[in-house]
Amino acid sequence: MRARSATRRVRRRRILVVCAMVLLAGHRAASSQTPATTPPVTVETRAVPDRDVKQVNAQGIVNAAPHAVRAVIADLERYPAFMPYVKESHVLSRDPNGDVLNYQRLSFGMLFVQDRHYVIRIAERRYRDADGRQAYAFVWRLEDGLPPGVSADAAVRVSVNSGYWDLRPVKGSDSSTDVRYCVFTDPAGSLPKWLVGLANTEGVPQLFAAVASTAASPRYATLAAPAGDGEIGDRPALADCADTSQPSAR
């Protein structure tokens, strides 16, 4: 019995290695076909003490106005149409201060890899950059539980998920956005941590490409810039997104 169990484990590892190779090949093929709007993206990882997974930070310039990129990030219900891996995205509630409770289900299209799902609380804050221009931040943290009617075994519930988008006007330009992205997530389940890291670092450029191409589409590119100041506060303290003890950007 032990020999059979060990054989199964070896086979499963081999399958995961093959899946990872297929995933990488898919990313390379997709990158060769991405539109000219795809921005160059710098991706860095940071080890987190007492954690098996790493924090991922990325930065890139998107050729779209900050308010257009902001509209893409805020359009949660349409994520399945353009965000990589997102199979479902539903707004569960909106707080008076603008915070959103959001349920998402991710599907990776890989053999033997189950869907993942979770509920996150997203806080959007508007602030002035160093030049006094309007910028946007979205900060999210994992919430407990799942929505009513969603079975716990419908997918694997993610155990760690926090991060932020920081959207700043590029200096000297009103039509491009300096996009900063941070994510710290552990999809739980039996996925090897090296495969999780691979998906994060390989998937982030694909994520930026999706945001850039969507922001360039008429649905978002033709949006008028917000009139007036509205509710604009100080820039949120966006430190390491792996520090889940920090409050939302309020």
| Residue 248 included in any domain | no
| Residue 236 included in any domain | no
Phi, psi dihedral angles at 129 (to 5 degrees): -80, -175
* CATH, residue 178: 3.30.530.20
What pLDDT was estimated at residue 185?
87
What pLDDT was estimated at residue 199?
67
Phi, psi dihedral angles at 104 (to 5 degrees): -130, 145
Range of the structural domain that residue 39 is part of: 2-221
Instruction: Pick out the chain residues at pLDDT < 70.
Output: 1-38, 189-201, 228-231, 243-250
What pLDDT was estimated at residue 149?
92
What pLDDT was estimated at residue 16?
40
List residues bridging with 239 in a β-sheet.
none
Exposed (0-12), middle (13-18) or buried (19+): which is 221, by Cβ within 10 Å? Answer: middle
Say how many domains are in the chain.
1
DSSP, collapsed to helix, strand or coil, labels residue 146 as: coil
pTM: 0.81
